[in-house]
Structure 1
């Protein structure tokens, strides 16, 4: 299923699947996730926000039927921070399927454990810069 992307003035991009956007309540879910970030998400966001790396990042942005932690739309680069739950077999399978679909849409995905984002932030930022 192809996402619908509308390019609007001032870099407003709608990348969610129109049929799924309302059905899955993506807008409200993403808003809730932005209001209650994990410690790792908050720490990394403080380094990504406001074009500090020379590009614009969005946080908790919906693409197709998924909400990604961070995305730079101009470079089609997704940053995902994973807690311990992502190591569980069912969650790992879900993540692989999700990643496969996002990669089919042309996105590159970088995954970092929460602990790395919290304790090795500079290394995470270096990896992100390298992939931009």
Structure 2
């Protein structure tokens, strides 16, 4: 996948401005749970994934309240379709779920990664 320099710069900016749910999830994923390596704010084509696990070809998106408003659902669907066309699976986690129970959110991400590895 070709990554544009603008997306790399955008990813760097997003890493510095992560939301609280993103920070919390990163705290749970950065220690390589079950051996899976995750990247945060990973540029991919025209998009920047909140988190990405290359081994499992898994994109993890943290969805705050704004994802349910306006044209956000349509944009999210387009984004998910783009990732799917590249052979990636998108897992969307509500921000509130991360804030309410980080351990369960991390376990869900790891379970999806393990499932994806089993599909290959």
TM-score (norm 1): 0.81
Tell me if structure 1 keeps the 8 A contact 2:64–2:95: yes
**Runs of at least 4 residues of structure 1 off by over 6 A?**
none
Measure how far apart 1:41 and its partner are.
0.4
Give the total of aligned pairs.
113
Q: Which runs of no fewer than 5 residues in structure 1 stay unpaired? A: 5-15
Match of residue 115, structure 1, among 96, 99, 102 = 96
Distance (Å, rounded) in 2 between the aligned partners of 1:52 and 1:102:
23
Equivalent pair of 2:40/2:49 in contact (CA under 8 Å): yes
5 Å matches for 1:25-104? 25-104=6-85
Cα distance in 2 between the residues matched to 1:37 and 1:74:
24
Whole-Å separation in 2 of the counterparts to 1:52 and 1:129: 7
- C-alpha offsets along residues 42-93 of structure 1, whole Å, 9 cap, x if unaligned? 0010110031331110000011110000000111011100111100140100
- Following superposition, the deviation at residue 28 of structure 1 comes to 1.5
The CA RMSD measured in Å over matched residues stands at 1.1
Where relative contact order (Cα < 8 A, 6+ residues apart) is larger, the structure is: 2
